[in-house]
Structure formats: C-alpha cells, structure tokens
Amino acid sequence: MSEPRVERPGLYYPKLPTTWWLRNTNYFLFMLRELSSVFIMVFLVLFLVELYRLSQGPKAYGAYLETLRAPGWIVFHVVALAFALYHSVTWFKLSGVVQVVRVGERQVPPSLVTAASFALWAVVSIVLLWFMVRG
Amino acid sequence: MSDATITLEVTRYRPGHDREPHPQSFEVPFQKDWVVLDALNHIKDRIDGTLSYRWSCRMGVCGSCGMMVNGVPKLTCAAFLRDYRPGPIRVEPLANFPVIRDLVIALDDFMEKLRRVKPWIIRAEEKPVSEGEYRQTPAQLETYKQFSMCINCMLCYAACPVYGLAPAFVGPAAIALAYRYNLDSRDEGYRLREPVMSDAVGVWECTFVGECSVVCPKGVDPAAAIQRSKLAGATDWLLSMVMPWGGRR
Amino acid sequence: MPGEDGYQHDLLVIGGGGAGLRAAIAAAEESNRLSIAVLSKVYPMRSHTVSAEGGTAAVMRDDDSLDTHAKDTIFGSDFLADQDVVETFVREAPGEVIQLEHWGCPWSRDPDGRVSVRPFGGMTVNRTLYAADKTGFHMLHSLFQTSLKYEKIVRYDEWFATSLLIEDGTVCGVTALNLHDGRMRPIVAKAVIMCTGGAGRIFPFTTNAAIKTGDGMALAYRAGVPLKDMEFVQYHPTGLPGTGILITEAARGEGGHLKNKDGYRYLQDYGLGPPTDTPVHRKMELGPRDILSRCHIQEHQKGRTFDGPYGHYVHLDLRHLGEKLIDKNLPFVRELARNYVGIDPVHEPIPVRPVVHYMMGGISTDITGKTSLDGLYAAGEAACVSINGANRLGSNSLTELLVFGARAGRSAARHALERAAPRSNPLAQLASDERRRLDQRFLRVDGREKIADIREEMQKAMESGCGIYRDRATMEATCQTLAKLRERFAHISLADKDAVFNTELIAALELECTLEVAETVARSALAREESRGSHTRTDFPKRDDARFLKHSLAYRTPDGPRIEYLPVTITRWPPEERKY
C-alpha cells in the first residue's frame, strides 16, 4: 500500500466504504474472481497432499481418497471446480485484451485471440480427458 | 413541450459551511432531448445560482463535465434525462476525488501524475523541422491511436476502486497515455517512463477490475494499456535476467 | 501554480488553448532565462481548441504552392486580409505543422507514411492535414502534453484574469481571481499575451463552448486597445439543430452532399455547380462558409428546407461514402450524430443548419502579435492579425494559432528579456482595489437583474441584428438593446456570495465581457455599409472597395464603441470580384 496522502483543508475527502464491491455487478464479479483464488489454492494443497500420499503407497493413498469422499469435501470440490472454471473463463476472456497478436502489420482482433484461447483450452481438455478415459 | 418534470438529487457541499456533502432535490422540466448537463444549467440559471459544477464544450470532447449519475461515472453532456426516467436522478461529484465544492472535484493529483509519466515524445536526438516529418505508416499510427483518444475526463479514476483505496496509484488515464507514447514509432522514451510505470504505485498496483475501460466514454481501454504494460515490464525483467547485457528495446 | 518568485514572471500567457500553449512553448524555446506562466480559467486541455475537427492547412505537397495557399486565403477573405501577413502565414505554416508532428500529434497518414491532406472549403488543392476528425483535440493535447516537458512553464489553472495592470502606458501583469480560494492576486509580468479565444457565446446558437466569452478581447478593449474587424462573424453551414454542435466541413471534404427537402443538391442553383459525384475543389459543398450559409437562408426563403422543433434545416448526406470511410476519417461525426440527434450517418442523412462558429475579428495586432499597448500581445481567435479578413477559410484557424501563437511567444519573450521587472508594491494595491470593486459590484449589492435574463436578451438581439443577413433598422435596434442591457447589468444580482469556486461570479464577469464584445460587433457592422465576406447587408448588397476596403477598429468610449478605419495591406493580389 502507498503513503497516506496529505489532505488539504477545505476539501472533502470521500472514503471508499468497505462494501464498495457490492455497488455494481462488475465490482462483485471482480471480488468473486479474487475469491476464487482461495478455493484454487486449497484445492492445490489437497492435490499436493494427494501426491504425497501416493508416494507413501497404495494404502495411504486409498485412505486419503476415502477421506475425500466425505460429503463436505465433495461439496468443496464442486464449488472449487465452479470457481476454477469461472477463473479460467475470465482469464481466457482477458487474453485477447492483454496479448496483442500481429499478423504482418495488422493487429488480430482481440475477440479472435480470445476465441483461439478458448479453442486451445477445449482441445487440451479433450486430449487430457481422452488420456484419462483410455488410461 | 409537455408539463412533465423530473427530479434531480444533486450533491451540495459548501466548504466552510458544510461538514460533509448532502443531497438537495430540484425539480426540472423533462425534455426528451435534454442531457443531465442541460438540467444542471436550468437549475443554475433559473432555480439556484449557487450550484457549482464544471462544463464547457457540451459535445463530449473537453472532458469537463464528468459526474456520478445514479452512481455511475458519466459525462453529463452525454447522459440523457430520458434514459433515467422516471427518476429521481442522483448527480454526485466524481467518486474517489476530493471535493472542492458541490460537483467540483480537485484534479491537481492527476495533473501531477500526468507530468510524472512524461507524456511527450522523447528522442535521443531531435530531428530538425527543416528535415520534414517522421514517416509513420497508418499501421504504426493504429498501434497507439486508441490510447491517444483520452480526454482526461477522470471517469476512469472515479470507477477505479484501487485509486479509491490507494490514491497514490498512478491510475488508468496517466498509464494509458504513457503507454500511448511508448507505442509511438517516433518515441524513444520507454526506458525513461519505465521507472514510473513499474514503481510500487505504477502498473502493478492495478488488480484488473476493468471498470475503467467500461466507463471510458472514448473507448480508450486503459485496462488493456495497464495489463499490456505489465506484460512488457515482466518480459523486460525476464530478459534482463537471462541476458544481463541488454534485453529488448 | 506559482514558483518561488510568487506571482512574478517574465511572461504571462492568458489562455491555455492552442495559441496560448504554442506561445508559451515558443517563449520557453526562445530563452531559458525566462519565467513563463500560463493562466487559464479552465485546465488547458478543456480549452475550446479541443472541439476543432476538420484540419489544419499548410502547403505540404508538390502540387501545391505558397502562392496558391495565399491566393485562396485572400480570395476567401474577400480581399480584407492583410496580404503581407498572409504571405508570412503560408510560409511559416508547413514548419509549424511539422513541428507539431515532431511533438507527437497523431496526424492521419498516407500508406507511405507521409501526413495525409484532404480537400477543404475554398481551397484549390488538398492541403488540410488532419487527425481523423478530431484535429483540434489532438493538437491541443499534443501541445499541452509537450508543454509539461518545460519546467520553466508554470500554470495557473482555473484562474480568471479580471483586468490588465498598466503602469506608465505599459502592461505589467493582470489581476486574477483564483477560483479555488476566491482570492484576487496581482500576477506581475513584463509581457502579457492574450490567447483567450473568440466570443461565440454572444450568440444563442453557436458551435462554441460555454467558455468562449471574449474575456481577453474585453480586457484589451477596456485597456484602450482597439478590436479589429469585429463585424465579421463566421457562420458554419453545418451545425446540429438545437445544440449547435459542429459537424465538420471535412464531412463535405470527404464527399458529403448538402440536400434540401426534395433531396436536391441545391448549391448548384447558386452558382456553385455543376454537381459532381466526387468533390471538386471550391465547387458545390466545397464552397466557402459564408456563401454556403447564405445559400441555406435563401433556400429556406424559397420554402425548400425542412422544418423542425429547432428551426429550419437541410440534410448533410454521407451515406454514399460508406461505413468504412466514415469510420476511418469521420468517426467523431458519426459519434456526435448518433449521440445528439439519434441518427447514424451511415444509414441516414444528418440534419444541419448554419451556426455561429468563429470571429474573424479580434484584438488588433501587428505581424509579430504586438498590440498598440506596450507589453501586450495577442494570438489565435482572440486576435486579429488579419489573415481571415471578411471570411476565414476552414482549416486556416488551427494553422493561425500555431504560426501566430509562436510568433507572439517569441516577440513577447524578446520584449520581456529587454525590460526591467515591474515594481510589484503598487500592483498589490491595484489587486486589492480590484477585489473591492468586484465585491461592491457583485457581492455586496442586492440587485434585481438575473444573469440568465440579460444573457438571453443579448443573444437574441445579436441573432436578430447581426445574423447572416443584416440591415440598418434591425442593427440599430440591436445596438439600442445592448446599450440598455449594459445599464441593466449594473443592477445584477448574485445569489452566490461564497469565495470558493463561485461560478456565478465568473458567469457575471463573463457576461460583462460578452456585452462589451457584442457592442463592438453590432457597431462595427452598422458602420460598414457594404456586403463583404460574412457581413451581408440587404440594404448594401454590393462590396464597396472605394469606401470599405479597410479594417474597422472599435475603440472603447463611455458611450459605447467608436469606429475608426485602417487601410488593408495589398501586396500582389489586387482586389477582384469574388466568384467561385
């Protein structure tokens, strides 16, 4: 955070209320996106533990999976998946804005970059899914 | 002309008299081609001459008349009463700025930041005018044109919660203008602007809410300018780590 | 804001628009020993230069020549321009637009990277540089942002100059009101440059921004400097009905058509034909503004215009240009038409009518920007250096503010370098006197007159007497109304007695300025018994070179303006009949 500003007498300095993010939909969606990181972080921790358990052998791994079958964890994973998807969608939507792609002298329209990003995402997901189903 | 009216709830603040701003209601004639600014002018001319606000061109290019209309930053010369029927319409000073009086906000903070990003062409060597213009192709012009459309109306600052929470943030318009010069084929000042851009209160302060680009009346998309500057800054940093003898640009 | 020296500078520029900023930069480049201040009642980037759309004329290509630009300008002026000044103007124009290119102005470009040029009214060849249709906006912001580079240039943003300080016949600064705290201060300078723009707001229906109230003209006029050629008021043929928002001439330069209610390109009936599909220089829609505006009125008198809630109008048809060209070269036209009249020019014609746009007249200066008052300079629309004469050609004014802004900046800088600093003690006294004057005039009295009433009556009187067509009887009535309004103004009443950001006080000061400027327009117009350029008298329909090939000068007297005359400088182009 930055230095507090010097306030001049006579001027009225408005304060942003802590509920500012409830003022409009975009602010709210932004806060959701920020919040999504918490769920994704917890999921990643669980995943690391899962890998660790896997390294300890089938028994430890099985026990861990059993723990995760508890309804609470299932609910968590559904919510985390939803957030992960939301985060990914917003991320890919921004890709067109952030990454300028040029072909020759012309700039590729951001919408096309975004669409390409989504397409790539879909392809990678399908490939992964195929590996999982086959394996 | 009809007898219909519409109510404006206008923020009043008299320094030295009021502790804090408060709304005052005015009933004005409803005209279908009136903008909020016309209603304010009607109030000033016919109801209460003490109401203070800024305006000038009334055609959306001078950038004077930005205010919060029903909580959203707008140029009041382009906000039609008919879009807010039946009212009342809340008219407040731009959010996140200190208020001087009524609807007039203090701009000196932005003016200082604008100068800090060096929004002018920087060259190692200036070409004499006698040697003519710099050649610039339409495509080169196109790369920065959008970011040169900023009218400094401050709507983006009013929409930016980061600026509201951390007023030292250089902010959307100033960064967009710095980026505009960085992109200009005639400019060689990237290195000189970089310290301001990658400063603690520069581009990295932005959390990409994106509302600045939503409210921009000129389609400048400052959010894109900031994110792209982050990407350029990060790439630069990475290259300087990999190739300490000199990265890009 | 003021530096260490408080409110003392070598050079003070009043007005932060194109001319003011160009002058300040020129002075800064002239000498790094100078302390330069720019004082403006608004932040510089709000200045009205921002609204200019179409372009900036300069000879840039091999098919063009300085003489052709000069001849077009002089011809357009109906031979009232000073030809030596015009020759200097066209000579220095290319350098100025290139300088602005070096300062980052995003001029539109040809495929080979050169700056593009487009046709414009009254010009024989394509010589108008442009930045799409936001040329003034880009020029102003380029100048303003470039001015930030010069630490020597300090700014007084949102200060209103109320009077010129004069000692022993020499200007030594101004008194100015800081809007932010309401305090009056003397700002001392060895030279002052007035770059305060025109006064379109003396009329009810104008493309001009609210700030265009002739403040600088009035300040100079009160100090005894004459206002030159004030009767010449330019109507732009294409403004939006109701608001008066400008639809640029570039729309016609790109090939737009003016059509009456029968869909007929009526300009062919007024000697501007023949109509062609692609635009031909100086013909049809590319005729000069004064003539096109008169054609509109005549067309109306024939009953062939549309009638709307805001008076008669015709159509500006751009549909045949296609969406691609409109979006590339006229995006602002599309934006304005969509926002303000709900019409998309790609699919529908735009309703337009003539609207007050520009004052050819202003503070009388010589070719260096110097006025008759020692230490006072002027440039831009506020000044009349006399390149526009009786009718300005579109796209010459943006060039004018560059060329003569720079000239005024340089000559005022040299003047300041030669002079000793004025003594500031008596000046502080003058400032407190001025504050007391304003208090007594506006804040301590309870008058009965309202600002809005006087303003509206003045504007109505100006429109009726000093519009496109003029005659003695209505002009005399206008003069009488203005004299009465001046008396009524003494009884003005302000509701706002606060110090901080008192915009009502500013409105009163502006109104006082507009009233004085309006009187110079009406009196000069009444005295000029001929028709020339934008000044068209139904009672004197012919140009009269024998009596009126001269500039009028309006001097202030307690009973209103006194009109004198000054010869026009003719160098190589003897007056001839002006036909297109």
Pairwise CB contact (< 8 Å): B143 & A107: yes
**Segments making up each domain of chain B, as ranges:** 5-105, 108-242
pLDDT at B87: 87
Measured between beta carbons, which residues in chain B are less than 8 angstroms from residue C48?
Answer: 56-57, 62
Say yes or no: domain C445-567 is CATH 1.20.58.100: yes
Residue in chain B closest to C246 (alpha carbons) equals B59
Measured between beta carbons, which residues in chain B are less than 8 angstroms from residue A91?
Answer: none
How far away is chain B from the Cα of A53, in angstroms, using its nearest Cα? 36
- In the predicted model, what is the mean pLDDT of chain C? 95
Measure the CA angle with vertex A100, ends A95 and A105; round to 5°.
Answer: 150
Residue in chain B closest to A25 (alpha carbons) equals B211
Give every residue of chain A whose pLDDT is below 50, as ranges: 1-2
Going by C-alpha positions, the residue among A7, A11, C179 that lies closest to residue B19 is A11
CATH code for residues C246-355: 3.90.700.10
Say yes or no: domain C8-234+358-427 is CATH 3.50.50.60: yes
CATH class of B108-242: mainly alpha
Q: Are C64 and C97 in contact (CB under 8 A)?
A: no
B57 touches chain C (CB under 8 A): yes
pLDDT at A135: 67
B64 touches chain C (CB under 8 A): yes
- Integer Cα distance of C85 and A50 in angstroms: 86
pLDDT at B2: 56
**Tally of CB atoms within 10 A around B112:** 10
A37 touches chain B (CB under 8 A): no
Chains with 3 or more CB pairs under 8 A to chain B: A, C
Fold for domain B5-105? Ubiquitin-like (UB roll) (3.10.20)
* Annotated catalytic residue, options C138, C141, C236, C257: C236
Measured between beta carbons, which residues in chain C are less than 8 angstroms from residue B181?
Answer: 104
- Cβ-in-10-Å burial (0-12, 13-18, 19+) of C316 comes to buried
Handedness of CA C301, C306, C312, C314 (dihedral sign): negative
Q: Write the CA distances from C459 to C215, C230, C239, C277, C517, integer angstroms.
A: 16, 16, 18, 39, 12
The pLDDT-based confidence of B241 (bands split at 50, 70, 90) is confident
The pairs formed by A99-103 with CB atoms below 8 angstroms and a separation of 24 or more are A99/B231, A100/B228
Chains with 3 or more CB pairs under 8 A to chain A: B
- Integer Cα distance of B170 and B178 in angstroms: 11
- Integer Cα distance of C518 and C40 in angstroms: 22
Q: Mark whether C320 is an active-site residue.
A: no
Closest partner CB to A3 (pick from B13, B168, B224): B168
Measured between beta carbons, which residues in chain C are less than 8 angstroms from residue B121?
Answer: 102-104, 146
Pairwise CB contact (< 8 Å): B209 & A24: no
- Integer Cα distance of B55 and B64 in angstroms: 5
How far away is chain B from the Cα of C198, in angstroms, using its nearest Cα? 14
A24 touches chain B (CB under 8 A): yes
Q: What is the pLDDT of residues B8-46, one digit of tens each?
A: 999 999 999 999 999 999 999 999 999 999 999 999 999
Between helix C503-527 and helix C472-489 the angle, nearest 10°, is 150
Pairwise CB contact (< 8 Å): B44 & C209: no
Pick the residue of C142, C503, C505, C509 with the most B CBs within 10 A to test the interface with B by mutation.
Answer: C503
Q: Do domains B5-105 and B108-242 have the same CATH topology?
A: no
How far away is chain B from the Cα of C344, in angstroms, using its nearest Cα? 16
Going by C-alpha positions, the residue among B81, B90, B91, B88 that lies closest to residue B2 is B81
pLDDT at C158: 98
Residue in chain A closest to B12 (alpha carbons) equals A12
pLDDT score of B196 more than 50 = yes
Chain B from 137 to 196: CB within 8 A of any C CB? 137-138, 140-141, 144-145, 148-152, 177, 181, 184, 186-187
pLDDT at C426: 72
**Tens digits of pLDDT across chain C (580 residues):** 454 446 899 999 999 999 999 999 999 999 999 999 999 999 999 999 999 999 999 999 999 999 999 999 999 999 999 999 999 999 999 999 999 999 999 999 999 999 999 999 999 999 999 999 999 999 999 999 999 999 999 999 999 999 999 988 999 999 999 999 999 999 999 999 999 999 999 999 999 999 999 999 999 999 999 999 999 999 999 999 999 999 999 999 999 999 999 999 999 999 998 999 999 999 999 999 999 999 999 999 999 999 999 999 999 999 999 999 999 999 999 999 999 999 999 999 999 999 999 999 999 999 999 999 999 999 999 999 999 999 999 999 999 999 999 999 999 999 999 998 887 667 778 888 888 988 888 877 778 899 999 999 999 999 999 999 999 999 999 999 999 999 999 999 899 999 999 999 999 999 999 999 999 999 999 999 999 999 999 999 999 999 999 999 999 999 999 999 999 999 999 999 999 9
- Integer Cα distance of C46 and C441 in angstroms: 29
**Beta partners for residue C571, in sequence order:** none
Chains A & B: contacts with CB separation below 8 Å: 78
Q: Mark whether C407 is an active-site residue.
A: no
Residue in chain A closest to B143 (alpha carbons) equals A107
Residue in chain A closest to B139 (alpha carbons) equals A105
Q: What counts of helices (H) and strands (E) characterise chain C?
A: 15, 22
Tokens standing for residue B63: 């950038």
Closest partner CB to B45 (pick from C335, C452, C502): C452
pLDDT at B247: 47
Q: DSSP per residue over B66-79, as a string?
A: EEEETTEEEEGGG-
Q: Are C396 and C69 in contact (CB under 8 A)?
A: no
Residue in chain B closest to C206 (alpha carbons) equals B57
A2 touches chain B (CB under 8 A): yes
Element (H, E) at C339: helix C331-341
Measured between beta carbons, which residues in chain B are less than 8 angstroms from residue C495?
Answer: 48-50
The pairs formed by C140-143 with CB atoms below 8 angstroms and a separation of 24 or more are C140/C17, C140/C18, C140/C21, C140/C44, C140/C45, C140/C47, C140/C49, C140/C50, C141/B148, C141/B150, C141/C45, C141/C50, C142/C100, C142/C103, C142/C104, C142/C105, C142/C106, C143/C18, C143/C21, C143/C22, C143/C25, C143/C100, C143/C103
Measure the CA angle with vertex A106, ends A104 and A112; round to 5°.
Answer: 110
A21 touches chain B (CB under 8 A): yes
Q: Are C345 and C333 in contact (CB under 8 A)?
A: yes
Closest partner CB to C113 (pick from B50, B126, B137): B137
Tokens standing for residue C505: 């006080």
Closest partner CB to B129 (pick from C46, C99, C211): C99
Q: Are C53 and C135 in contact (CB under 8 A)?
A: yes
Domain(s) of CATH 3.50.50.60: residues in chain C: 8-234+358-427
B108 touches chain A (CB under 8 A): no
Fold for domain A20-127? 3 helical TM bundles of succinate and fumarate reductases (1.20.1300)
Measured between beta carbons, which residues in chain B are less than 8 angstroms from residue C95?
Answer: 129-130
Measured between beta carbons, which residues in chain C are less than 8 angstroms from residue B50?
Answer: 495-496, 498, 504
Chains with 3 or more CB pairs under 8 A to chain C: B
**Segments making up each domain of chain A, as ranges:** 20-127
Q: How many residues does chain B have?
A: 249
Going by C-alpha positions, the residue among C338, C331, C412, C403 that lies closest to residue C370 is C412
- The pLDDT > 70 percentage for chain C reads 99
